[in-house]
Amino acid sequence: MANKKSKTLMWGLLAMLVVGLGGFGATSFTGTVNEIGHVEDKPIRVTAYTSAVQAQISQVSQQFGQQIGFAQAEMFGIPNAVLSNLVTDRALDVEADRLGLSVGDGTVSESIMQIPAFQGPTGEFSRDTYDFALQNAGLTDAVFEADLRDESARSILQTAVISATRMPPAYLTALTAYSAETRRITYARVGADQLDAPLPQPEEADLQAFYDANIADYTAPEKKRLTYAYLSPEMVIDAVDIPEETIRAQYDARIDEFEQPERRLVERLIFSDEAAATAASDRLKAGEIDFDTLVGERGLALSDIDLGDVDQDALGAAGAAVFDTPSGEVTEPLDTDFGPALFRVNGILQATSTDYDEAAALIRDDLAADAARRDVELEAEPAEDLLAGGATLEDLAEETSMQLGTMDWADGSTEGLAAYEDFAAAAATVSAGDYPEILTLDDGGIFALRLDEELAAAPIPFEEARDQVAADWQADTAAKAYHARAEALMARLDAGESFADLGLDALTESTVTRNGSVLSTPEGFNAEVFAMETPGTRRITDGFDAAMIVQLDGIVPPAVDDPNLAQMRNALDQQISGSLSTDLYQAYAQEIRDNVSIYVDQDALNAVNAQFQ
């Protein structure tokens, strides 16, 4: 969160943007394009866009365990999300200017001189290094310093909005008490064994009457009778032949996938200096705080610090110490390229080695699937040409590899092709007389469809629905019998008899929690328990093939000296205050965006994106 971010880290990231691009900026990456748009008079720079896109692609690639391309990044919405974030940032910069927020030249100058990326061999600020880095990124010192000043003012604005939002103490106290309160109950099951007589068997007239009374449950929805032509990669994959030399080449190229060193599942929490890291480590050792809460104090989520699974080399100088740390433990403060950090080891992954024959089978499947998708893709254009020439779906099935089929489709159908979102969308919108066209499925398949007839909603004939009607009648009859018996027994409890007097096997639970569950009870049981407000009262709830008599024995407030209470209070404070802050900040940022002039140069954006391909 903005109020927790270190300005040193922020300025360091700006410097990394400049130095890291290293000729990747305006002059070599996008020709003469320096901006992809602006918000009022605030430019959206190419360097900011490209570095943010690269960072997101790198993060997603690490999560997937393999490098993703720009086309995949577009599918995930990464470029659009980056652009949206940059627009929001620039809109906030405009608002900061309007409010008169800024930092002085001295602060900017001092910050630049402290950035390691701009220091020479002696460790002092080097003007030549600074100028060279900016020139490589296609920036002037005036532009970079203006951006740094804007970033600082924006941070002040974000901090003011977010840090002012905290949950009121009285509300926090009430919410903690509400959440930590427990119930003591006694409950008993009333099922077939507690009935005075066996459940009856239905006569045909009973089923017919039940069917008539619940006809809506036995009415088929409106349907569309469709004819379709379809071809999937799975239908052609058996005909695909993958040469052995291709498999061997792929194995060599993917050797890191099949021969993996020992790894660790690691989270890394970076600090601004050694003193801060040591203080945090001391708090952890003393039991004053746990690691998750420590992360929350920094305004971060666990996903923000998660490195995934990494080998020892990827951790640099900290690698040996991290690998010596047992799973579940936190390291001492360790030096990293980003400053001192604490690492939590969440798992130990042993080295793995995949036999060539096993790896070859996997590679063959992958290559065959890719080849099959390409084969299907090659079928699409000839099929489209046939349809454009007046061919029917039946003709398509005769003259291509596509197969013909029919179905009665209704909204919510999930069998066969109906399970595909693309097919369902086409089926939902197709009308009589529509020209069939070749459409694609997310697995690489292609299809075309035609509406033959619209079928009105109609009752399923009794003879077809009879088995389901019989099952529903029996379930309904049993539930009514169990509830009736439970009501009779509860009346006797109210009159002074005990569960034992009634021959009921009563169970007790002394710590029923609001969000927990009780063994052998259905979902919603705890909510029913907490709806009871007076000890000694009883109610009947549904059970599994039974009714349940539940008696509230006591309401237990949280113990003031319960060590878990403070932890719960802190967690609720962090969670709800964070949620309030996020909601307020997002609403504020959106309001600012809605009231500024935004321009995106689509041609420039396309030119930049083209260089990622």
Q: Which two tokens stand for residue 416?
A: 């066969």
DSSP state letters, 82-94: HHHHHHHHHHHHH
Q: State the pLDDT at residue 9.
A: 40
CATH number at residue 423: 3.10.50
Task: Give the structural domain span for 507.
Answer: 182-219+463-556
What is the pLDDT averaged over residues 550-556?
Answer: 94
**Domain closes at, from 407, 429, 456:** 456
Q: What pLDDT is stored for residue 17 in this prediction?
A: 45
- The CATH number for 345's domain is 3.10.50.40
**According to the model, what pLDDT value does residue 23 have?**
37
How many folded domains does the chain comprise?
Answer: 4
* Listed range (123-132, 319-328, 380-389, 548-557) with the worst mean pLDDT: 123-132
More reliable by pLDDT, 570 or 468: 468
Of 20-24, 242-246, 409-413, 573-577, the least confident: 20-24
Select from 438, 456, 474 the last residue of a domain: 456
Question: CB neighbours (10 Å) of residue 293?
Answer: 15
The Cα–Cα gap between 423 and 433 comes to 18
Whole-number Å distance between alpha carbons of 416 and 130:
62
Contacts of 567 (CB under 8 A, 6+ apart): 290, 293
The secondary structure of 54-101 as a DSSP string is: HHHHHHHHHHHTS---HHHHHHTTHHHHHHHHHHHHHHHHHHHHHHT-
Dihedral (Cα; 379, 384, 387, 393), 10-degree rounding: 40
Average pLDDT over residues 320-326: 95
Is the per-residue pLDDT at 549 higher than 90? Answer: yes
C-alpha 375, offset from chain centre? 33
Looking at the fold, whether 476 and 443 belong to one and the same domain comes out as no
Which of the four pLDDT bands, split at 50, 70 and 90, describes residue 174? Answer: confident
Query: Is there a domain that residue 67 lies in?
Result: yes
Nearest one of 74, 44, 12 to 609, comparing CA atoms = 74
Q: What confidence score (pLDDT) does residue 3 get?
A: 43
Residues 43 and 80 in one domain: yes
Residue 315 has pLDDT above 70, yes or no: yes
58-67, 271-280, 509-518: lowest mean pLDDT where? Answer: 58-67
Domain identity same for 41 and 145 = yes
What does the alpha-carbon distance between residue 193 and residue 200 come to, in Å, rounded to a whole number?
Answer: 14
Residue-wise DSSP of 319-330: HHHHHTSPTT-B
Give the whole-angstrom CA distance, residue 454 versus residue 102.
66
Are 227 and 214 found together in one domain?
Answer: no
The pTM of the whole model exceeds 0.75:
no
Q: Vertex 258, ends 257 and 263: CA angle to 5°?
A: 70
Q: Is residue 277 part of a domain?
A: yes
Q: Verify that 379 and 402 share a domain, yes or no.
A: yes
* CA distances to 39, 86, 274, 303 from 300, in Å: 28, 20, 19, 8
Q: Please, are residues 255 and 431 in contact by the beta-carbon 8 Å criterion? A: no
pLDDT for residue 33: 64
Q: At which of 456, 485, 510 does a domain end? A: 456
Let me know whether 102 and 39 are in one domain.
yes
Of the listed ranges 43-57, 103-117, 158-172, 404-418, the one predicted with least confidence: 158-172
pLDDT of residue 113: 82
Task: Identify whether residues 448 and 542 lie together within a single domain.
Answer: no
Residues 267 and 211 in one domain: no
Helix (H, G, I), strand (E, B) or coil at 396: helix
CA distances from 483 to 198, 292, 476, 489, 595 (A): 15, 47, 11, 10, 60
Q: For residues 524 and 544, what is the distance between their CA atoms, to the nearest angstrom? A: 12
Q: Is the pLDDT of residue 157 over 90?
A: no
Q: What is the mean pLDDT of residues 246-275?
A: 91
User: For the segment 59-97, what is each residue's pLDDT rounded down to a tens digit?
Assistant: 888 877 778 888 888 888 899 999 999 999 999 999 888
User: For residue 40, what is the enclosing H or E element?
Assistant: none
Work out the pLDDT band at 118, boundaries 50, 70, 90.
Answer: confident
Distance CA 134, CA 140 (A): 6
Residue 331 pLDDT exceeds 90: yes
Same domain, 161 and 300: no
**362 domain-assigned:** no
* Assigned domain for 196 exists: yes
Instruction: Tell me what the mean pLDDT of segment 225-245 comes to.
Output: 93
The lowest-confidence range among 165-169, 315-319, 329-333, 565-569 is: 165-169
pLDDT at residue 32, as a whole number? 55
Q: pLDDT confidence of 235, banded at 50, 70, 90?
A: very high
455-499 residue pLDDT tens: 999 999 999 999 999 999 999 999 999 999 999 999 999 999 999
Is residue 360 domain-resident? Answer: no
Tell me which of 21-25, 227-231, 356-360 is least confident: 21-25
Whether 361 is covered by a domain: the verdict is no
Q: What is the mean pLDDT of residues 343-351?
A: 93
pLDDT tens per residue, range 297-307: 888 888 889 99
Q: Report in angstroms the alpha-carbon separations of 125 from 21, 110, 114, 509.
A: 20, 10, 7, 68
What per-residue confidence (pLDDT) applies to 164? 63
Cβ within 8 Å of residue 219, ≥6 positions away: 457, 458, 459, 460
As a whole-number percent, the residues of the chain with pLDDT over 90 amount to 55
Percentage above 70 pLDDT, the chain: 93
pLDDT for 270: 92
Q: Are residues 21 and 93 in the same domain?
A: yes
The span from the CA of 19 to the CA of 12, in Å, is 10
pLDDT at 554: 95
- Tell me whether strands 219-220 and 182-190 are parallel, antiparallel or unpaired: unpaired
The separation between CA 94 and the C-alpha centre of its own chain, rounded to angstroms, equals: 32
The verdict on 111 and 31 lying in the same domain is: yes
pLDDT band at 137 (very low <50, low <70, confident <90, very high): low
Rounded average pLDDT over 114-124: 78
Q: Please check whether residue 174 lies inside any domain of the structure.
A: no
Query: Exposed, middle or buried: residue 559 (CB in 10 Å: 0-12, 13-18, 19+)?
Result: exposed
Q: Supply the pLDDT for residue 71.
A: 82
Q: What's the confidence (pLDDT) of residue 69? A: 82
Query: What confidence tens digit (pLDDT) does each residue in 11-22 have?
Result: 444 444 444 444
Average pLDDT, the chain: 87
Q: What is the CATH number of the domain that holds 155?
A: 1.10.4030
User: 563 lies in a domain?
Assistant: no
Coil vs helix vs strand at 228? strand
Q: Residue 283: helix, strand or coil by DSSP?
A: helix
Token pair belonging to 260:
């993996």
Check whether residue 74 and residue 33 sit in a common domain.
yes
